[in-house]
A and B are shown apart, each in its own frame.
Chain A
Amino acid sequence: MLRDITIGQFFPGTSAVHRVDPRVKLTLVVCMIVTLFLAAGPVSYALLALYILSIIKISGIAPKMVVRGLKPVVFIVAFTAVLNLFYTPGNELWSLGFLHVTDAGIKVAVLMVVRILLLIIGTSMLTYTTSPIDLTDGLELLLGPLKKIHVPVHELAMMMSIALRFIPTLIEETEKIISAQKARGADFDSGNLIQRARAMVPILVPLFISAFRRADELAVAMECRLYRGDIGRTRMKQLRLGRVDFGAIAISAAVFGAVIVLGRFGW
């Protein structure tokens, strides 16, 4: 049951979208988010939608998977839509008691829904097409300049990649502990919420103890392999910008530029 959990789901592939340098992808996603908030009318939104749909198409990721990824946010989207629908002033089209639907309300609600959906699909395309380790490397390099003002960028990236490394190991261990406790008659599936939460204690205690022991052993092993933080480190994998990267930057810059210009005119 725990195996279904995938943190920041990643679908491996070799498409052009997959091959774009993680630093470029991260930067472009940030630019895309900014652009989304500068878009104003149907034309600019349509252009951005087209941009994101083509990314999905090129990446070769099944649209079904992308739609599935939207499930957790359905409620927020619906909530925003309803709020905007009823609380935007404009020409009243229809009203019932204190609820008023206006022409402006419908327009804002639709654009708002499109904006949130594009925002979520656009950002999830980043994690769908970039392996977590590439993402961490990209973040470390992009945020590298912050080291000058003593932000522990390297340490944070190292912690993140060790966490990623140990997720499968700890999941495996949790399953073993669950089986062991079940074999001793533990019951995880019945009772009310509090009883079930209490039933988790015999799983969490051994899991925590073992996680601390692992952390201790790993720290010694890392020291033995000459780790001493960020002092004089090099990297085997060197990221270099290539044709795919410049292509992605050029196309994205054109789209974002057009959206911003169109947005200025309210289109």
Chain B
Amino acid sequence: MNHSEIIKTEGLTYAYPSEDGTPKLALNGIDLSIARGAFVAVLGHNGSGKSTLAGHFNGIRLPSGGKVWIDGMDTADPDKLYEVRKTCAMVFQNPDNQIVSTIVEEDVAFALENLGVPPAEIRRRVDDALKAVDMYEFRRHAPHKLSGGQKQRVAIAGVIAMMPRCVVFDEPTAMLDPAGRREVMRVIRELNRRFGITVVLITHHMDEAVQAGRVVVMHAGRVLMDGTPREIFTQVDTLREARLTVPQTIEVLFDLNNQTGSDLPIDALSVSECADTLEKYLKR
């Protein structure tokens, strides 16, 4: 296996047991490799298999067929499971159900306590993790009194205190309000840029996927598309077939092209890019 890859899957299939005996295939032959330090978004509508795939990245689910390697370790090997989870951590959708303790800093310390890190070092790493997610001043607070975005940042701090090489985010903003979503996305980008942690972001928000360096689109348990955001989001028809919307900035230009028969470039990923294109069009 190539040393620059942190996650690699080969012919990965996963079947859920179902009531009538015929297993339901949630993942159907996934070959994926994710480079160290990458920021990859995995997109897909509900039931596309994206969360099931995420579960394979730290051994919550084990493949029915095929292989998953995390930093060269086979997740199906029970002796490696602990190391796999240390290498590739996971943040879940509901912040309430992943916070263990009644005090913020105690919760961030949880993983380190489990690892048996000496108390003085726990203290230092907890403080660093809380500062990294901008929650240091809340360290003595009770988690249930924080907003959704703040809780999710505490959960992220709890994970990065372990100093994993890779963090998988399973729809981390699905239960948050717009302000909370922005806070959490900012922290996720920082993790990737400042600390060089590999980020796999499972999402169905296009505007979040746009911020990644690479987008993988899942549909019916398979990888439908794989490329840079610009390559993916300009294929409006394919995305719509996979029951996904496209970013609004692209949708505006695409529909404008269709309705007026013009041929504007439709690769505007940000609002300002879109505005520039429209300005040029109007001045023409």
Whether A226 contacts B117 in the complex (CB less than 8 A), given A133-B101, A221-B92, A234-B122, comes out as no
Q: Cβ of B109 < 8 Å from any Cβ of A? A: yes
Contact with B along A205-226 (1 / 0, CB 8 A): 0000000001001101111111
CA distance A162 to B101 in the complex (A): 7
A230 to chain B, nearest CB (A): 10
A227 beta carbon closer than 8 Å to chain B: yes
A82 to B: closest C-beta gap in Å: 43
Q: Which residues between 103 and 138 of chain A lie within 8 Å of chain B, taking CB atoms? A: 132-133
Pick out which of these stretches binds chain A: B81-89, B181-189, B198-206, B217-225.
B81-89
A161 interfacial by beta-carbon distance below 8 Å: yes
Q: State in angstroms the CA–CA spacing of A149 and B105 once bound together.
A: 32
Would you call A226 and B97 a contact (CB within 8 A)?
A: no
Cβ-defined contact, A217 with B98, below 8 A: yes
Contact B144 A133 (CB under 8 A): no
- Indicate if the CB atoms of A161 and B102 lie closer than 8 Å: yes
Output the least CB separation between A7 and chain B (Å): 12
Q: With the chains together, A132 CA to B106 CA distance in Å?
A: 14
A18 to chain B, nearest CB (A): 14
Nearest opposing residue in chain A for B143, CB measure: A165
Counted as pairs of residues, one from A and one from B, with CB atoms less than 8 Å apart, the total is 92
B90 (CB) vs chain A CBs: closest residue = A224
B119 / chain A contacts, CB cutoff of 8 Å: 234-238
Cβ distance A136 to chain B, nearest Cβ, rounded Å: 9
B106–A222 touching, CB < 8 Å: no
CA distance A236 to B127 in the complex (A): 12
Q: Please judge, given known A-B contacts A165-B100, A169-B96, A214-B97, whether A226 and B114 are in contact too, CB under 8 Å.
A: yes
Q: Mark A145-164, 1 if CB is under 8 A from B, else 0.
A: 00000000000000001101
Q: Does A224 contact B116, Cβ atoms closer than 8 Å?
A: no
Which of A225, A227, A232 is within 8 Å of B159, CB to CB?
A225
**Contact in complex: A234, B116 (CB < 8 Å):** yes
CA distance A232 to B118 in the complex (A): 11
Asked if A168 is at the interface of the complex by the 8 Å CB criterion, the answer is: yes
B110 & A227 in contact (Cβ 8 Å cutoff): yes
Q: Are B58 and A235 in contact, CB atoms less than 8 angstroms apart?
A: no
B103 within 8 A of partner (CB): yes
Q: A165 to B101, Cβ gap below 8 A?
A: yes
Which residues of A have CB within 8 Å of B103?
133
Interface positions of B from 92 to 133, Cβ below 8 Å from A = 92, 94, 96-103, 105-106, 109-119, 122-123, 126
Q: Can you pick out 21 interface pairs between chain A and chain B where the beta carbons lie within 8 Å of each other?
A: A132-B102, A133-B102, A161-B102, A162-B100, A165-B144, A169-B96, A217-B98, A218-B98, A221-B98, A223-B60, A225-B100, A225-B114, A227-B111, A232-B115, A233-B113, A233-B116, A234-B119, A235-B119, A236-B112, A236-B122, A237-B106
